Amino acid sequence: MTEALADTVTRTLPETLMIASPLDALRGVAATLGAAFVAVPECPLAAGDHAGPGSVWSHTDALDEWRTETSEGPQTGAIVVAVWPTTNTAAPFTTMSPTDFAVRSEWPFVAWYAALGAAIERCADGGTIVAVIERPSPLDCAGWAPESGTADAVEAMIRSLARSEGPRGVRVNAVTTPSRLAPAQPIAPPPPLSSFPGSVDHEVSNAVSMLLGSGSAGVTGTVVHADCGRSWR
Amino acid sequence: MSDRVVLITGASGGVGRGIAHACGAAGWTVWIAARRRAEGEQVAAEVESAGGRGHFAECDAADADAVERVVAEIVTTSGRLDGVVLNATSGLSPKPVVFADVPLGELEDHVAVSLRGMHILALATYPHLRASKGSFVALTSEAGFEGKAKLSVYAAIKAAQRGIARSLAREWGPDGIRVNCVAPLAGTPAMDRAFAMDPEMASRILGRNPLGRMGDPATDVGPIVRFLLSDDSRYLTGNTLMADGGSCPIS
**pLDDT digits over B62-91, tens only?**
999 999 999 999 999 999 999 999 999 998
Find the domain containing B64 and state its range: 5-237
Asked if residue A51 belongs to a domain, the reply is: yes
Choose among A93, A156, A164: nearest Cβ to B122.
Answer: A93
Residue B249 resides in a domain? no
Instruction: Tell me how far apart the terminal alpha carbons of chain A are, to the nearest angstrom.
Output: 26
The one catalytic residue in B12, B148, B158, B247 is B158
Q: What is the pLDDT of residue A188?
A: 85
H or E element: which one contains A146? helix A145-165
CB-based contact A144 B122, cutoff 8 Å: no
Cβ <8 Å between A138 and B156: no
The answer to whether B154 is a known catalytic residue is yes
pLDDT tens column, A111-154: 999 999 999 999 999 999 999 999 999 999 999 999 999 999 99
User: A61: alpha, beta or left, given left = phi > 0 and alpha = psi -120 to 50?
Assistant: alpha
Any domain includes A231: no
- pLDDT at position B194 is 79
More confident residue, B201 or B110: B110
- Mean pLDDT over B136-155 rounds to 95
- CATH number of the domain at A126, please: 3.40.50.720
Burial class of residue A134 (count of CB atoms within 10 Å of its CB; 0-12, 13-18, 19+): buried
Q: Name which residue leads in pLDDT, A116 or B212.
A: A116
Q: What's the number of domains chain A is made of?
A: 1
Kindly state whether B130 is in contact with chain A, defined as any CB-CB distance less than 8 angstroms: no
The tens digit of pLDDT for each residue in B147-182 reads 999 999 999 999 999 999 999 999 999 999 999 999
Q: Is residue B137 part of a domain?
A: yes
Catalytic residue among B78, B90, B135, B141: B141
Residue ranges making up the domain that contains A42:
3-225
Q: What is the pLDDT of residue B165?
A: 98
- pLDDT band, residue A12 (cuts 50/70/90): low
Q: Chain A contacts of B147, Cβ < 8 Å?
A: 156-163, 221
How much is the mean pLDDT over chain B?
Answer: 94
Q: Tell me if A163 and B147 make a contact (CB, 8 A cut-off).
A: yes
Q: Is B107 on the interface with A (CB under 8 A)?
A: yes
Query: Can you give the pLDDT at residue A185?
Result: 86
Q: Is residue B70 part of a domain?
A: yes
Q: Which of B148, B154, B230, B233 is catalytic?
A: B154
**Residue A13: what pLDDT?**
66
State the average pLDDT for chain A.
Answer: 92
Q: B-chain residues within 8 Å CB-CB of A53?
A: 64, 112, 116
Of A93, A118, A138, the CB nearest to B168: A93
Q: Is residue B37 part of a domain?
A: yes
Q: Name which of B175-179, B203-207, B216-220 the model is least confident about.
A: B203-207
List, in sequence order, every beta strand (DSSP E) within A41-134: 76-82, 123-134
pLDDT of residue A233 exceeding 70: no
Contact B215, B225 (CB under 8 A): no
**Is the pLDDT assigned to residue A1 strictly greater than 60?**
no
B112 touching chain A per CB within 8 A: yes
Q: Do B157 and A153 touch (CB under 8 A)?
A: yes
User: Is B128 near chain A, with CB under 8 Å?
Assistant: no
Instruction: Say yes or no to pLDDT of B119 above 80.
Output: yes
**Cβ pair A157:B171 closer than 8 A:** no
In a domain, B15, yes or no: yes
Point out which residues pair with B178 in neighbouring strands.
B135
User: Is the per-residue pLDDT at B2 higher than 70?
Assistant: no
Interchain CB contact of B125 with A (< 8 Å): no
Q: CA dist B6 to B19, B132, B228, Å?
A: 10, 11, 12
What is the per-residue pLDDT across A60-98, written as a single tens digit (0 to 9) for each?
999 999 999 999 999 999 999 999 998 779 999 999 999
Out of B64, B167, B238, closest to residue A53 by CB: B64
Kind and range of the H or E run holding B9? strand B5-9
A120:B100 CB<8 A: yes
Q: Do A98 and B157 touch (CB under 8 A)?
A: no
Provide the CATH number for the domain around residue B106. 3.40.50.720
Does residue B155 fall inside a structural domain?
A: yes
> Does residue A6 have a pLDDT over 70?
no
Q: Please state, for a pLDDT cut of 70, what percent of chain B lies above it.
A: 99
**Alpha helices (runs of H) in chain B, residue ranges in sequence order:** 14-25, 37-50, 64-78, 107-110, 117-132, 143-146, 152-172, 189-197, 201-207, 222-229
Does any domain span residue B11? Answer: yes
Counting the structural domains of chain B, the total is 1
What is the reported pLDDT for B203? 86
Q: Is pLDDT larger for residue A189 or for residue A222?
A: A222
pLDDT for position A4: 52
Side-chain half-sphere exposure of B126, counting CA atoms within 13 A: 18
Complex ipTM value = 0.95
CB atoms within 10 A of CB B238: 18
